[in-house]
Amino acid sequence: MNMNTTHASITLLRVLLAASLFGSVSAARAAAPAVSGELKQWHKVTLTLDGPSARETDTDPNPFTDYRMEVTFTHESGTPSYRVPGYFAADGQAAETSATSGNKWRAHLSPDKTGRWSYQVSFTKGRNVAVDDNAQGTA
C-alpha cells in the first residue's frame, strides 16, 4: 500500500502556548498542515491539512470510505505513540458555513504529556480503504 506522508513536530508546554512546527512535506502536498488549539496537556490539538477536494455526496471516490487519513503522534520520549484516524472536514468551517465540499482534512489529539510531539500523516485512496484494513489503496 502506497502512502503520502508528512512528518513534523509540535511542542506542548503546561502554561505557555508555544509550537515548534518543522514540516517536511511530501511532493504531493504543497502546504504544511496547520496546528491549532491550546497547546497544553489534555487540551485538544487539531491538525488540519489540504488534501483531495471532495463533496459530501461524492460516490466515486466517497470522501468518507474511499480515503484513509491516519496521523501517528509520538511523544519525544518515544512513548506514548497514538495512531489517530483523520476525517474529511469540507471547507474546515462547515459548522459555520454549512459547506458540503472542500479540501480540508483533520485529526485531533489531547496530549497526555507535555513536551515535543512529532506527527506523521499518511493518506491513502482506494475503494473502502477507510473501513476495510485489507483494502488496497494508492497514495
Residue 54 pairs with which residues in a beta bridge?
Answer: 102
Annotate 21-32 with DSSP letters as a single string: ---EE-TT--SP
Q: How many CA atoms lie within 13 A of 118 on its CB side?
A: 13
pLDDT-wise least confident of 4-8, 25-29, 85-89: 25-29
Average pLDDT in the chain: 83
Ordered by start, the domain boundaries in the chain are: 4-125
Residue 50 confidence (pLDDT)? 96
Q: What share of the chain is helix, strand, coil (3-state, %, to 5)?
A: 5, 45, 55
With cut-offs at 50, 70 and 90, classify the pLDDT of residue 86: very high
Residue 136: the pLDDT is 81
Judge whether residue 8 has pLDDT over 90. Answer: no
Per-residue pLDDT at 26: 36
Amino acid letter at 22? F
Which pLDDT score, from 0 to 100, does residue 12 have? 52
* Alpha-carbon torsion, ordered 109, 115, 31, 130, to 10 deg: -30
The pLDDT value recorded for residue 133 is 85
Report which of 8, 12, 22 is spatially closest to residue 110, judged by C-alpha positions. Answer: 12
Nearest to 35 by CA among 134, 116, 98: 116
For the cut 70, the answer to whether the pLDDT of residue 123 exceeds it is yes
Model confidence at 75, in pLDDT bands (50, 70, 90)? very high
pLDDT at 27: 33
Which of 71, 105, 72 minimizes the C-alpha distance to 87? 105
Average pLDDT score over residue span 75-91: 97
* Max Cα-Cα span within the chain: 46
For residue 97, the SS3 value is helix
Q: Convert the pLDDT of each residue in 13-51 to its tens digit.
A: 432 222 322 233 333 444 789 999 999 999 999 999 999
